[in-house]
Structure 1
């Protein structure tokens, strides 16, 4: 005998109040606090190896700290006052900014062009993508030594090629601007492929229907690149600009190994290519061992990186706001 249930009969509501079960309590705690536990290792490591050394370096910069001599003496902002009046320091600042501009701007433009090329249907595409990363995995010391030989005064291949076309030999290691160009070439060769792969990964995330719609509207590859690809890559471009700024303003190994001999840490006999990191090393360690003064240079470098990175981000955002892809318009026009 079938039993019919009345659908209009009231259903008893679930019980409210009372204490939550142990499973429910653990679930709430897991949802609320587990994300903090997952990201805690990064912040702990950053606090130990990042924030604490940074704060301690500032404390050291307020002292007359001789690594080989007497105990440190607190002198306040005297190191910074001396630093602002130091002509060698400002010379290193100009060198740092000069090498940074000459190396970073062509590097990012070349990486963007290379990524757009690798994003097309090419033969052996995977092999080409792997090949652009080879310079980045090569030892920095080996790269610096090889480029130092290539830009040699007497037997360098670059001067030999210039002589073939009738151009006089260039003093790559004793001329200030020429040394900037040589070091920038070395940096660009090593890091262009790395940035190109980052741009390539971002390009592959762009929906293909945007390009198909624009092609139907008559847009060519150049128009698609500047109207669709570049605006949608703005977050990635900002990331690469910040990373390149941090790395470009901290150059040490390339200019240090580009010059050999006793003047290597000075960037040449007349400090032609001495960067701020090299000047910091010269004062904090050999030959002066003035740890307090070197720490002041490090903090000035930190301030310079923050300022230049902020300016670059503002410029990229300003340029990106002026060129946004009209996605809706293209889709409507293609129907």
Structure 2
């Protein structure tokens, strides 16, 4: 655009001795006009700045320092992250977390999908079943961890009593490495299966029934309808549940902490990343190293969320009609 055809610049609005652009003055006038609305939403932003943004920024700063919460903060550079890479206890916590995540996530999502498929059928008392499956998610995890500790107790637990009644050997659920991991995984499955089933059920209810009718008309079996119609259309929902389960599994804390204590059980078999970060920050009072562990967890969760997204994301794929043999 040439200088001759350029639109005239907005004339500044003079206030006192200075010149304020007219657009800026119009913005301030709008704020002053609608100040009750801005005042109504201000508490959220104030709370977010104080309890959300400030702790995040401060934890980044702390990860480069050496501070016990009492004296002066000493800048340590990358020494906390260097020690993190060489810390065998941290990598043990990473291994424990991923093993528990695999043991819990795969069965949990499979059971949730099966339960959602069954609840989607025309059965009686569907509302009662939905409430029953969702109830563990809203139950206090602290109370249920105590209950699971009694159920899986090595000496007087219900599970070992049942095994003894069947003339089988009892299992040291809370004293062996794999027993601890399996117990925590069972707690996660019990708590979140119904939650994911309700999400899958909402996705199933959004699938048009015409597709099912067309598949049945072509002679498709129930398994073919489930694998070639339901699963492809539920791919975005499955992606969401896998990512949320990954983030939740990597940040596991309440179950091992209440069930096994801060030490993570025998041989630290139940020591997860968040539990180890809690011990370093609030038991050893090494807030710098605890912040470094927290940001390492953030990186791990982000990487695995991206991997899950790449593996399960929908690539413009539409469900194919199942092929069936036609008989005369």
TM class by smaller structure: 0.7 to 0.9
Root-mean-square deviation over aligned CA pairs? 2.4
Asked whether the 8 Å contact 1:227–1:324 carries over to 2, the reply is no
User: What pairs up with 1:148-297 in 2 under 5 angstroms?
Assistant: 148-259=149-260, 264-286=261-283, 288-297=284-293
Match of 1:128 in 2: 129
Aligned partners of 1:141 and 1:206: how far apart in 2?
38
Counterpart in 1 of 2:19? none
**Conserved? CA contact 1:153–1:171, under 8 Å:** yes
The equivalent of 2:294 in structure 1 is: 298
Q: CA-to-partner distance for each residue in 1:52-80, whole Å, 9 max, x for gaps? A: 42222111110001114x21100111001
Using the size of structure 2 for normalisation, the TM-score is 0.81
* 307-316 vs 185-194, greater mean Cα deviation: 307-316
2:229–2:319 Cα contact (<8 Å) kept = yes
Partner of 1:325: 319
Q: How big is the shift at 1:105? A: 1.0
Q: Is this contact kept in 1: 2:97–2:250, CA < 8 A?
A: yes
What pairs with 1:106-121 in structure 2 (closer than 5 Å)? 106-121=107-122
For residues 296-321 of structure 1, give each alpha carbon's deviation from its aligned partner in whole angstroms, at most 9, with x where no partner exists.
1101111111111111222223xx65
Structure 1 gaps of 5+ residues are: 1-28, 30-36
Normalised to the residue count of structure 1, the TM-score between the two structures is 0.80
Counterpart of 2:309 in structure 1 is 313
Q: Which residue of 2 aligns with 1:25?
A: none
Match of 1:62 among 61, 64, 67: 64
**Does the CA contact (< 8 Å) of 2:142 and 2:254 recur in 1?**
yes
CA distance in 2 between partners of 1:106 and 1:41 (Å)? 44
Q: What SS class does the counterpart of residue 162 from structure 1 fall into?
A: helix
Shift in alpha-carbon separation, 1:242–1:215, aligned structure 2, 3 A: same
Q: Secondary structure at the match of 2:266?
A: coil
Measure the CA separation in 2 of the matches of 1:200 and 1:51.
Answer: 35
For residues 91-150 of structure 1, give each alpha carbon's deviation from its aligned partner in whole angstroms, at most 9, with x where no partner exists.
111011111111111111110110000000001111111111111111011110100111
- How many residue pairs were aligned? 285
The one-character-per-residue Cα deviations of 1:249-270 (angstroms, maximum 9, x if unpaired) are: 11111011112xxxx1111131
Q: Which residue matches 1:9? A: none
Partner of 2:103: 102
Work out the CA distance in 2 between the residues paired with 1:159 and 1:313.
Answer: 40
CA shift, 1:204, in A, is: 0.2
Change (3 A) 1:42 1:127: farther
